[in-house]
């Protein structure tokens, strides 16, 4: 079972999960990125940063 990296709550995933998908934790709202499907691994999703027109 995979758990949230922020609050340790068990995570549930949709059946059509893909690499790179962002999944929110139902308990704390942390955004987790699917890093690998086999084996299933998640990491904290990178924060979106402004580029200020660069």
C-beta contacts of 41-46 below 8 A and 24+ residues apart: 41/2, 42/2, 42/5, 42/11, 43/5, 44/5, 44/6
Predicted confidence at residue 40, as pLDDT, reads 93
User: pLDDT tens for residues 1-54?
Assistant: 799 999 999 999 999 999 999 999 999 999 999 999 999 999 999 887 666 666
Predicted confidence at residue 50, as pLDDT, reads 63
Give the DSSP letter string of the chain: --B-TTT-PBP---TT--TT-EEE-TTT--EEEEEEETTEEEEEPPPP---TT-
């Amino acid at each position: 079972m995979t758990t949230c990296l922020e609050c340790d709550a068990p995570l549930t995933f949709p059946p059509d999960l893909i690499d790179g998908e962002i999944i929110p934790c139902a308990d704390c709202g942390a955004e987790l990125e699917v890093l690998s499907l086999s084996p299933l691994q998640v990491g904290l999703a990178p924060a979106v940063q402004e580029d200020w027109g660069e």
